[in-house]
Structure 1
Amino acid sequence: MRQLSPLSRRVTAAALGLVVMSGVAACAGPQDGGAKDAGKDGAPRKGGTLTVLNAEPHADFDPARLYTSGGGNVPSLVFRTLTTRNREDGAEGTKVVPDLATDTGRPNKDATEWTFTLKEGLKYDDGTPITSADIKYGIERSFAAELSGGAPFLRDWLIGGADYQGPYKSPQGLASIVTPDDRTIVFKLRKPEGDFPFVATQTQFAPVPKAKDTGTKYEERPVSSGPYKVVRNEGDGERLVLERNPHWSEKTDAERKAYPDRIDVLSGLDAAVINQRLSTGSGVDAAAVTTDTNLGPAELAQIGGSAGEKELASRVGTGRFGYVNYLAFNPKVKPFDDIRVRQAISYAINRTSVINAAGGSALAEPATTFLPEKEAFGHTPYDHFPAGKTGNPAKAKELLKAAGQEKLTITLTHSTAQNRQTSPEVATAVQQALAKAGITVKLQGLENNAFNEKRWSAKDAPGFFLSRWGADWPSGAPFLAPIFDGRQIVKDGSNYNHAQLNDPAINREIDEINKLTDLRAAAPRWGALDKRIGALALDVPLFHPVYKRLYGKDVKNIVISDWTGVLDISQVAVK
């Protein structure tokens, strides 16, 4: 499971050279949830060049190696998949819809087998037809060691997936993927998975014709099934140029609008440079967007009242991704084996100071539940350890006394990276809050890679640390199972079950919910399970991040869904 999502980026006001203000969240229109913008001169039209300014390069531009569900970013323009997300604003965007397939899949009775039928008339950019065998091959090559990096779900879910080494070593392929004809593909799973239609949005489900597979060089000129094809790929994804795929048909693709004729992606840029270029909007930057660079608190706090600043505020897109930042406990380390100590810390936390450290209320929203406050995840409100806005040190002291820990000293491990999620500022806010309850907190800051290695280690995880989790699709399954399913504890590798919880009753409930293919029925059960686990005080939810990103003054048709929380390039038009 991927624990990282788009990170908020700190940008200094001096480097940005502009003023923007926290009042953006209250503005109407596209900046508040991404309402479509027809502009003064009517509806969006085809034509022009869209420029994308990003900090992170689009390295490994191969559907096998990408870790994305094709939600709103560049890969989705080139790689179509069996299913995709509904390209609508807000909560409507959390729904999974057909893409290459005619529907979102047909399960057998217990959701251990899923069948998909491809639409008619699907073609690659060279005009050759897309077949079910190409999708099977595209999935199989994602198992090859030399093409690692993509989502790991199929290795766990498909029968035989755990031992399969990919088509280069095992050309016979996976027997659990069956293609009885050119338009039908069947997946046989080793356990029920009602969320399979969501996983079918991952780029591993993009078709790859075996005859065109060039192994590790495929990323340079991948065969396109989407509305655009790659014509330039330089610097390991730092410069990508996309032009129209002449054989893509909007008759088979209800989701991607494909308005621009050309898309020029420039990556590896400094965050301050990106926001400066977007705010100034000179030349090609007037028709530019970013999918990975946020505005920081300094900029948002300074939006003023002048006409120019109001215009800038109208070009800030706000998004909320399924994500939670939390304090994690490892009960195998004393004194965190005592639930009363964990409860005391839960009561003592001051979420107001944490939110301020994370960038303020415009960039972070307080959390008392592990699941995000979205219906699609099954969010069920609860607050087992009410701390109010500023903490409840009196209740914390009462619990510590009962536990014989009235003079408690503990260590909080965090990253030294300035990402405003597991940062020194957030750690300091926690330290100060717990001090009011009589808890002395020593801070242990680690370089980000060392921090991640330590927090995801089953053997060496600290007892108390800052952590975060983002779901790969909007459901309770990818949120709760990796963190609390005891069968997903990894002894040698990345272990996301920080508490190493292995409760048979919780494991069984996860299995029972996974059998449900009716997502409306599954969602409230995930919420109930979240509430049940929350009572164990194995973590302290702190906040859910909010993303605020500038877009150019000549960009139209802004769509930001609750699936990705970022601007959807497939919907954008330029003047």
Structure 2
Amino acid sequence: MRHLSPRTASAVAAGLVLALGAAACAGPKGSDSGSGSGSGGAAGKPAKGGTLTVLNSQPQEDFDPARLYTSGGGNVPSLVFRTLTTRNREDGAAGAKVVPDLATDLGTPSKNATVWTYTLKDGLKYEDGTAITSADIKYGIERSFAAELSGGAPYLRDWLIGGADYQGPYKDKKGLASIEVPDAKTIVFHLNKPEGEFPYLATQTQTTPVPKAKDTGTKYEEHPVSSGPYKVVKNENDGERLTLERNAYWSAATDEERKAYPDTIDVRSGLDSSVINQRLSSSQGADAAAVTTDTNLGPAELAKVTGDKKLAARVGTGHFGYTNYIAFNPKVKPFDNPKVRQAISYAVDRSSVINAAGGSALAEPATTYLPNQKSFGYTPYDHFPAGATGDAAKAKQLLKDAGYADGLTVTLTHSNDKDFETSPEIATALQDALKKAGITVKLQGLEVNDYKDKTRSATKEPGFFLAHWGADWPSGGPFLAPIFDGRQIVKDGANFNSGFLNDASVNKEIDEINKLTDLSAAAKRWGALDQKIGEQALTVPLFHPVYKRLYGSAVKNIVISDWTGVLDISQVAVK
């Protein structure tokens, strides 16, 4: 799961960003898809050479494939780490497809999708010229289970037979029996339940090959062995400054996704967002060949840029699977009453929420929990239609039916961080809207860590709070299961099933969809399940964020996929 702020959306987060996808040399493929907004950038055909500068606010910490939550990390890790599968590197919706990377295909499943077999391509090599083997991928996965290398996504631990008890190769020399390597080019995964979306999971950086002889444990991040087009030549201050240069042994013949135009990638992090946008706007010197993968334009900056045609032409628009919403805890009164939850659903003024989130250029109204993208199985519905500004009369009638004819008073918990998705501005907009329906809202603002601690605790969770969820990959599975699968309710850890829904029919449908290896068919059923769950009003979807980012005047071949919503630096050229 990934968390991104509308303003400084880090491309990897407390929950998520994944592997990358590809564009044609002369410009982004699929730029007419309507959902992305890649453009050719600076005039002229992209060519190899030069230095690309990346200006980011968040440091590229833990540059170890075992510790990265997903393979995006602002797209930088995917330049060094190749995985079994990756994302199709095209603009817009086409970029939400999963494609082979190190593997020859998306994997061969057993009849019940509990066994997945992959074959590696010919000619794969590390930066030192040695061959990449299936045993290296097995070892790379196994080391991600080590406590000292924690931080990666939990799926392999949850899905692999024996994964829950495995402690990594430093403690258990035998390794995971559920990963077999019958020869140097074949790797077989044995799962404890059907998982038709394993090709998506195979994009995670944990499937990056790591040669056992070169593993230096917690120091591996200082110089990880490259399987991608670039190698790390310098890592300063735990990812604050990264310098990448070409890996001479990478072959484009084995990699259809990464273009690798620049000779050098200079990643500079820890910068203030306003400084980043000013440097990109000015595009002086090296900044003309610069991009950002984690810093959005704010409302004021966007207004300034929109008024300048030349600057406006250098703004990339991205959509990422992400939903901001109101969460209810039905164990807390009065939210145990469905009519109260429905009343609030009708009372919400989404136009004021959108304004609080930065305006229509930075946020799109949501009435479905799943993001409005085909890959998630998006099925339009609005169970509590109230228009753009809410239906106070309908809300009042529902409150009366619930026994609150004189209104009621509730507390809304949110974060005090203005750059966080649950900001005071959004909370205030909701407070004003609900007042019209006779609902007095008291605001409880918490610092980010306190907010997370309280809203993710099964015992501390408030009855009414602002929440958000981002996709680990573009499918309904990692969106709906953590929030609505009753078997994922965590009593003594981080719990995300805020509504404590444990519906046998919902749980069964999740299992049935997970058996499907036809991802298009699965998407349709995720959409139908979203529509079914939405009737219970356990959440009130508010908006999906939109990302607007500047890039330097000399940057060519802009590709922004719906998988990450950020500029794909594996595609850009500066010559």
Scaled to the shorter chain, the TM-score interval is over 0.9
Aligned to 2:17: none
Measure, in 1, the Cα distance between the counterparts of 2:140 and 2:490. 27
Match of 1:37 among 40, 44, 54: 40
User: Contact 2:80 / 2:226 at 8 angstroms: preserved in 1?
Assistant: yes
Structure 2 residue 270 is matched with structure 1 residue 268: yes
With structure 2 as the length reference, what TM-score do the two structures score? 0.94
Aligned to 2:56: 54
Aligned to 2:16: none
Secondary structure in 2 aligned to 1:546? strand
User: Contact 1:159 / 1:176 at 8 angstroms: preserved in 2?
Assistant: yes
Structure 1: runs of 5+ lacking an equivalent:
11-27
Aligned to 2:508: 508
Aligned to 1:374: 373
User: CA 1:549 to 1:355, structure 2 compared with 1: closer, same or farther past 3 Å?
Assistant: same
Match of 2:292 among 290, 308, 331: 290
Pairwise CA distance, 1:7 = 4.3
Alignment of 1:488-507 (within 5 A): 488-507=488-507
Measure, in 2, the Cα distance between the counterparts of 1:246 and 1:448. 44
Match of 2:219 among 187, 210, 217: 217
Aligned to 1:159: 161
User: Contact 1:242 / 1:262 at 8 angstroms: preserved in 2?
Assistant: yes
Measure, in 2, the Cα distance between the counterparts of 1:30 and 1:477. 24
Pairwise CA distance, 1:248 = 0.1
Secondary structure in 2 aligned to 1:555? coil
Alignment of 1:205-244 (within 5 A): 205-244=207-246
Alignment of 1:380-529 (within 5 A): 380-406=379-405, 407-419=407-419, 421-529=421-529
Measure, in 1, the Cα distance between the counterparts of 2:54 and 2:230. 15
Measure, in 1, the Cα distance between the counterparts of 2:148 and 2:285. 41
Alignment of 1:550-569 (within 5 A): 550-569=550-569
Pairwise CA distance, 1:3 = 3.9
User: Contact 1:376 / 1:523 at 8 angstroms: preserved in 2?
Assistant: yes
User: Contact 1:70 / 1:201 at 8 angstroms: preserved in 2?
Assistant: no
Pairwise CA distance, 1:340 = 0.4
User: Contact 1:52 / 1:290 at 8 angstroms: preserved in 2?
Assistant: yes
Measure, in 2, the Cα distance between the counterparts of 1:72 and 1:457. 29
Number of residue pairs matched? 553
Alignment of 1:279-318 (within 5 A): 279-303=281-305, 305=307, 309-318=308-317
Alignment of 1:106-121 (within 5 A): 106-121=108-123
User: CA 1:55 to 1:31, structure 2 compared with 1: closer, same or farther past 3 Å?
Assistant: farther
Pairwise CA distance, 1:411 = 0.2
Pairwise CA distance, 1:33 = 2.7
Pairwise CA distance, 1:70 = 3.5
User: Contact 2:178 / 2:189 at 8 angstroms: preserved in 1?
Assistant: yes
Secondary structure in 1 aligned to 2:117? strand
User: Contact 1:31 / 1:318 at 8 angstroms: preserved in 2?
Assistant: no
Could you list the per-position Cα deviations for residues 196-217 of structure 1 after superposition, in whole angstroms to 9, with x for gaps in the alignment?
0001000000000000000000
Could you list the per-position Cα deviations for residues 311-334 of structure 1 after superposition, in whole angstroms to 9, with x for gaps in the alignment?
111000000000000000000111
User: Contact 2:35 / 2:93 at 8 angstroms: preserved in 1?
Assistant: no
Aligned to 1:16: none
User: Contact 2:365 / 2:542 at 8 angstroms: preserved in 1?
Assistant: yes
Aligned to 1:20: none
Aligned to 1:21: none
Could you list the per-position Cα deviations for residues 455-485 of structure 1 after superposition, in whole angstroms to 9, with x for gaps in the alignment?
1111110000000000110000000000000
Alignment of 1:9-28 (within 5 A): 9=8
Could you list the per-position Cα deviations for residues 49-75 of structure 1 after superposition, in whole angstroms to 9, with x for gaps in the alignment?
000000000011000001123486100
Pairwise CA distance, 1:419 = 1.8
Secondary structure in 2 aligned to 1:284? helix
Aligned to 1:77: 79
- What is the letter of the counterpart of residue 377 of structure 1? F
Measure, in 2, the Cα distance between the counterparts of 1:436 and 1:509. 39
Measure, in 1, the Cα distance between the counterparts of 2:231 and 2:319. 30
Measure, in 1, the Cα distance between the counterparts of 2:309 and 2:315. 10
- What is the letter of the counterpart of residue 235 of structure 2? N
Secondary structure in 1 aligned to 2:340? helix
Pairwise CA distance, 1:4 = 1.2
Could you list the per-position Cα deviations for residues 115-136 of structure 1 after superposition, in whole angstroms to 9, with x for gaps in the alignment?
0000011000000000000000
Measure, in 1, the Cα distance between the counterparts of 2:263 and 2:304. 36
Aligned to 1:22: none
- What is the letter of the counterpart of residue 33 of structure 1? G
Measure, in 2, the Cα distance between the counterparts of 1:239 and 1:7. 24
Q: Indicate the percent of aligned positions where both proteins have the same amino acid.
A: 74
User: Contact 2:38 / 2:316 at 8 angstroms: preserved in 1?
Assistant: no
What is the aligned-residue RMSD (CA, Å)?
A: 1.5
Aligned to 1:571: 571
Measure, in 2, the Cα distance between the counterparts of 1:81 and 1:316. 30
Aligned to 1:136: 138
Measure, in 2, the Cα distance between the counterparts of 1:437 and 1:35. 43
User: Contact 1:30 / 1:37 at 8 angstroms: preserved in 2?
Assistant: no
Measure, in 1, the Cα distance between the counterparts of 2:457 and 2:198. 28
Secondary structure in 1 aligned to 2:171? coil
Pairwise CA distance, 1:510 = 0.2
- What is the letter of the counterpart of residue 430 of structure 1? L
Structure 2: runs of 5+ lacking an equivalent:
10-30
